[in-house]
Amino acid sequence: MDTFFASKVANGVKIGVNSLALNDFELFAIDSIVAEPNTAQERTRVLRVPILKLDPAAVIPVQANQHDAGFDLYSIEEVNLEPFGRTMVRTGIAIALPEGTVGLVHPRSGLAIKQGLAVLNSPGTIDAGYRGEIKVILINLDPKKDILISPGDRIAQLVIQEFKQVKFELVSELEDSDRGTGGFGSTGR
């Protein structure tokens, strides 16, 4: 087994990746995807997420800019989406999210406005216990033009968020609020 550490600076952001080759797979641990931390407090805010590269063509998700919430997800296959067609596109990666976090797959705004490409089940949900390949369900909302997706194309973005565990409690009535039962347009235009 070969072990290596690579560090790259892009747009002022240091990206460090630890890698351990396992037969035809590579296991990556995203070591840091932040600007060089100035304080101990900044260093502890980095969430470490193990990532498995399932295909040699897979691209490890990266932020386009230092303070972006989303990490770009890339296609590993060629897909032609006809108008109003939908498909599931492989990314070639799997992740192990820490307990208490969720991965949310969002559309990329540029692809949505320029081509009509959207994430159909937006946002897609990746639960912390899921260990399979991340796949993105895409739809072409353009009424006339096909959309060609090629290997290496950015197709969506992954946002990782912390959440609170919830336990529902059955009650006989709900506490009053300013809004009450008003919904679906009740607050005006």
For the segment 6-59, what is each residue's pLDDT rounded down to a tens digit? 334 444 444 444 444 444 444 444 444 444 556 666 555 788 999 999 999 999
Distance CA 83, CA 44 (A): 46
| pLDDT single digits (tens) 93-117 | 999 999 999 999 999 999 999 999 9
Per DSSP, the residues of 74-138 read: E-SS-EEE-TT-EEEEE-SEEE-PPTTEEEEEE--HHHHHHH-EEETTSSEEEETT--S--EEEE
Residue 147 structural domain: 3-162
Whether residue 174 is contained in a domain is answered as no
Whether residue 183 is contained in a domain is answered as no
The single-letter code of the amino acid at 102 is V
| pLDDT single digits (tens) 123-170 | 999 999 999 999 999 999 999 999 999 999 999 999 999 999 999 999
Whether residue 180 is contained in a domain is answered as no
pLDDT of residue 1: 34
| CATH number of the domain bearing residue 151 | 2.70.40.10
Q: How many domains does the chain have?
A: 1
Whether residue 135 is contained in a domain is answered as yes
pLDDT of residue 57: 95
Whether residue 179 is contained in a domain is answered as no
Q: Would you say 159 and 69 are in contact if contact means Cβ atoms under 8 Å apart? A: yes
Whether residue 117 is contained in a domain is answered as yes
Whether residue 84 is contained in a domain is answered as yes
DSSP state of 149: E
Rounded to 5 degrees, φ, ψ at 29 are: -120, 115
Entry pTM: 0.74
Per DSSP, the residues of 9-54 read: EETTEEEEEEEEEETTEEEEEEEEEESPP-SHHHHHTPPPEEEEE-
Rounded to 5 degrees, φ, ψ at 110 are: -65, -40
Whether residue 94 is contained in a domain is answered as yes
